């Protein structure tokens, strides 16, 4: 009845595709319009109070990765690493954490929820942790090796670090999302790995953060969304590498007028844990 009372006015729905079925069937009669793009744009800009919460989430993400790394050792199951991370987050006031993991070598094409796979010497162990503090998410992506990294693993990780740092270097007010993705992808192309920047091997080169763990803008070379000061992003060239398998590296940033502030402080290393 309340909707009937406003017939004649324009009602915005966002996202309209998630309207309850019975309301969606009457969308034309109720003068509904899809305002998803408008709301997405509002969500990209952050107030100081929102940024303060994201800063806290980034700090706890760094701490959580140390817990994850300390939990990683040969013979443990992937869910045990996730469980220790979750226990730490819950004990420190984190309401939610989106986390996925990858364990293995060239057979691994991405990250998933834990499946019971056990760590062994030589495995790459990838994860992204996305804790939520006061309703706001921040993310970090890192990779470790069980035992001493091989030369191939070190060489591959160096490409990812160069790519991520190239992407972060171009972040500033007034660019577009494609500029960041292109800077990352150009590094892979320079090293003869351009194929692995395509959607066959990777999804995005980063994305927005805030009220959701993964929000717009998505960092892709065909996304022309303007990047404004006050946006919060994760820059991560996560993709498959043909010599070693799936590898991840990503830092959370706040966009500023002339650059960005990196929120996550964990070193950009290929970590090693005892094998």
Mean pLDDT of 6-29: 74
**Contact residues for 231 (Cβ-Cβ < 8 A; gap 6+):** 44, 45, 46, 208, 217, 254, 255
Residues 73-99 pLDDT 10s: 999 999 999 999 999 999 999 999 999
Q: What is the mean pLDDT of the chain?
A: 94
Q: What is the pLDDT of residue 32?
A: 77
Where b means 16+ CB within 10 Å and e means fewer, 102-127 reads bbbbeebebbeebeebebeebbbbbb
Q: Which of 27-36, 78-87, 233-242, 253-262 has the lowest mean pLDDT?
A: 27-36
- Find out whether 171 and 255 touch, Cβ atoms under 8 Å: yes
């Amino acid at each position: 009845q309340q909707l009937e009372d406003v017939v004649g006015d324009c009602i915005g729905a966002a996202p309209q595709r998630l309207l309850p079925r019975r309301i969606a069937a009457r969308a034309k009669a109720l003068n509904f319009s899809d305002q998803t793009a408008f709301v997405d744009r509002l969500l990209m800009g952050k107030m100081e109070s929102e940024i303060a919460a994201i800063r806290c989430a980034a700090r706890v993400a760094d701490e959580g990765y140390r817990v994850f790394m300390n939990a990683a050792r040969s013979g443990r199951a992937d869910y045990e690493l996730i469980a220790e991370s979750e226990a730490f987050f819950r004990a420190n006031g984190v309401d939610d954490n989106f986390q996925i993991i990858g364990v293995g070598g060239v057979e691994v094409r991405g990250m998933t929820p834990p499946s019971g796979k056990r760590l062994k010497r030589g495995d790459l162990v990838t994860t992204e942790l996305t804790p939520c503090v006061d309703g706001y998410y921040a993310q970090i992506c890192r990779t470790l090796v069980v035992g001493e990294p091989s030369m191939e693993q070190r060489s591959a990780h160096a490409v990812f670090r160069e790519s991520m740092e190239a992407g972060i270097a171009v972040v500033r007010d007034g660019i577009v999302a494609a500029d960041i993705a292109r800077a990352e992808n150009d590094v892979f192309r320079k090293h003869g790995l351009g194929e692995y920047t395509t959607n066959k091997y990777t999804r995005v080169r980063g994305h927005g953060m805030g009220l959701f763990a993964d929000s717009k803008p998505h960092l892709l070379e065909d996304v022309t969304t303007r990047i404004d000061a006050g946006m919060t992003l994760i820059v991560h060239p996560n993709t498959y590498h043909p010599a070693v398998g799936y590898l991840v590296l990503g830092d959370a940033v706040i966009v500023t007028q002339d650059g960005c502030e990196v929120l996550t402080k964990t070193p950009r290393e290929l970590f090693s844990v005892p094998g």
